[in-house]
Amino acid sequence: MNKQAIFHQPKSNYCYAYNKDTIHIRLRAAKGDLDSVILVYGDKYDWANNRESSMEITYSDKLFDYFTVSIKAPNNRLSYYFILKKGNETGYYTEIGFFENLDNEDIYIHFFNYPYVNEGDIHTVPEWVKDAVFYQIFPERFSNGDKSNDTCVTEEWGSLPKSDSFFGGDLRGIIDNIDHIVDLGINAIYLNPVFESDSNHKYDTTDYYKIDPHFGDLETMKELVDKCHSKGIKVIFDAVFNHSGYNFKPFQHVLENGDKSHYYNWFHINKLPIEIEPPSYETFAFTHKMPKFNVSNDEVKEYLLGVAKYWIKEVGIDGWRLDVADEVEHDFWRDFRKVVKKANKDAYIVGEIWHDSLPWLMGDQFDGIMNYPVTRVCLKYFAQNSIKDIDFMESIDNAFIKNTYQVNEVMLNLLDSHDTPRFLTECNGNYKKLLLAISFLMTYIGAPCIYYGTEIGLEGGKDPDCRRTMIWDRSKWNNDIYSSIKKLISLRREHEALRRGKFKWLKDLNGVLGYTRESDNEKVLVLINNSNQTKNVNLIEYFNECVDLLNSKKVVSKEGKMDIIMAEYSYKIFSVL
């Protein structure tokens, strides 16, 4: 028994309340090491009535198996330990270590404890996000619907962007094209920043209470959000609370008045006189145009939290995407969550964090993050073909196990964004590979997000090339991509199992990736052939009758076989009967 590999921690992603009645328990062990794990649990004040529950291997990565079980804490109190078995060897794993035997006389010192299931400690995520398909819009490049605000346009629509290009995209352009978004089946929009700013990307805010005039005004924004809501579409804003823009008035006041400025402590000034190149103040990266806020300052906190509340109350937005979220102190985000959830208890809070994010995702800060860990795995598997099926499965499990189940349910799952090359370009233009990745995203746990233009085959390399203008000439669209994505979104919205069902890998499918999503009412099977060869898959071990949801044809077993032919770079989705 490899004891060094065994791990568990209460009040973490290894033991947490999913809801008032359910606690999820996980235990890590070396891959292939343990034959079985039994959870022994009960109320420490009533231990005589303890019970046992077998745990199952639900996830596996390259090094570890993860045993899991869901239980109800008796009397809302939970004390527990584990019985581990390997061959003829039995061991007990407790809070104070490993033992060959446990003495009931001192059993209480051994318990792992989840002392009490307090409702206020449970990470409650917005239910609507579990059913959402997001569409990310970079406003400056989506559509120019109002020529009257084109005071800084520098490029012709359709030309390749440079870092300082302005094309004239605006809110009116989004309003005019809502029907395109509705037709695709989208029910949530993530807008890149819309506040007043000097740049085209708007991540250097100059006024957090003002819509950028090149995009429109407050009334236009209200019209956009109202129209989206009337179509059943949620809207979340993108905000930068890590830093301001260079021309943010409080920062300009500091530049003019130094330590005599009332706003001096709004920022992190390292020395006087203030220098710009290199900056003598803290910034985002080393960009002098993005001075970092001192969010420990009460006035700064009051100002920014006021912004968070204002746009929910004034315009009715449904949540916030938070830029550079991991560089802002945790206490600020804890206060931010309280303010936002008080303004709208169903608001979605999603952070831009590119790495393991558990410290932000335990219920007191964010609901989820932009799931770049999954993005990277999809790039390696679908676009680059640099990892095998088993590597993909293990890497996805590794990303999943790092967070609680409810967090995974509302992760913003994406293939690309304004910060990355477009996925189709990473696939060297092979749109069949793109569709494989999207088929996975649309059938996996979490909220899938489509970057504007992906649905028509828009390409682009690294920033700024990934921020090309949307193409509105339908003759230039890749209609195979459009119809396929539309169908996948439709299936996700029609089948609860694809949104909320349990996820399980199928093994040994002759080089084809396979998994199921299962809810109380249905089971859906997904097959993905990520190769340039036709594959034949026999599913008789798992099923003997199902319906192909892409063509409505029924498939039944014959002569003890249930063969499915998978063309190269293809996917199939079945409803299991």
pLDDT in tens, 191-224: 999 999 999 999 999 999 999 999 999 999 999 9
**Residues 144 and 162 occupy one common structural domain:** yes
**Residues 476 and 532 occupy one common structural domain:** no
Provide the domain limits for residue 517.
498-576
Residue 113 has pLDDT above 90, yes or no: yes
**Residues 358 and 224 occupy one common structural domain:** yes
**Residues 399 and 327 occupy one common structural domain:** yes
Residue 542 banded pLDDT, cuts 50, 70, 90: confident
**Residues 456 and 530 occupy one common structural domain:** no
CB 25 within 8 A of CB 58: no
Q: How many domains does the chain have?
A: 4
Longest dimension (CA), the chain: 87
CB 418 within 8 A of CB 136: yes
**Residues 349 and 370 occupy one common structural domain:** yes
Average pLDDT of every residue of the chain: 97
- Please say if 352 is a catalytic residue: yes
Return the closest-CA partner of residue 526 out of 442, 455, 416: 442
**Residues 257 and 184 occupy one common structural domain:** no
Whole-prediction pTM value? 0.96
**Residues 58 and 157 occupy one common structural domain:** no
φ and ψ of 186, to 5 deg: -70, 140
Q: What pLDDT is stored for residue 358 in this prediction? A: 97
Question: How many CB atoms are located within 10 Å of the residue 230 CB?
Answer: 9
Residue 560 has pLDDT above 90, yes or no: no
- Please say if 323 is a catalytic residue: yes
CB 176 within 8 A of CB 477: no
pLDDT tens sequence across 436-457: 999 999 999 999 999 999 999 9
Return the closest-CA partner of residue 281 out of 294, 271, 266: 271
Helix (H, G, I), strand (E, B) or coil at 383: helix
Among 352, 416, 426, 459, the active-site one is: 352
**Residues 308 and 277 occupy one common structural domain:** no
pLDDT tens sequence across 153-167: 999 999 999 999 999
**Residues 475 and 330 occupy one common structural domain:** yes
**Residues 535 and 388 occupy one common structural domain:** no
What value does the mean pLDDT take over residues 140-149? 97
CATH code for the domain in which residue 260 is found: 3.90.400.10
Structure-token match 């682009």, residue found: 460
CATH code for the domain in which residue 512 is found: 2.60.40.1180
Q: What's the rounded Cα separation, in Å, for the pair 251 and 327?
A: 19
Q: What pLDDT is stored for residue 121 in this prediction? A: 95
Q: Which helix (H) or strand (E) holds 377?
A: helix 372-378
The DSSP annotation for 298-344 comes to: HHHHHHHHHHHHHHHHHT---EEEETTGGGS-HHHHHHHHHHHHHH-
**Residues 391 and 450 occupy one common structural domain:** yes
The DSSP annotation for 39-78 comes to: EEEE-GGGGGG-EEEEEEEEEE-SSEEEEEEEE--GGG-E
Residue 557 has pLDDT above 90, yes or no: no
Q: What's the rounded Cα separation, in Å, for the pair 357 and 115?
A: 25
Domain end (from 121, 144, 176)? 121
Domain end (from 494, 524, 544)? 494
Among 323, 426, 455, 459, the active-site one is: 323
Q: What pLDDT is stored for residue 357 in this prediction? A: 96
Domain end (from 102, 121, 140)? 121
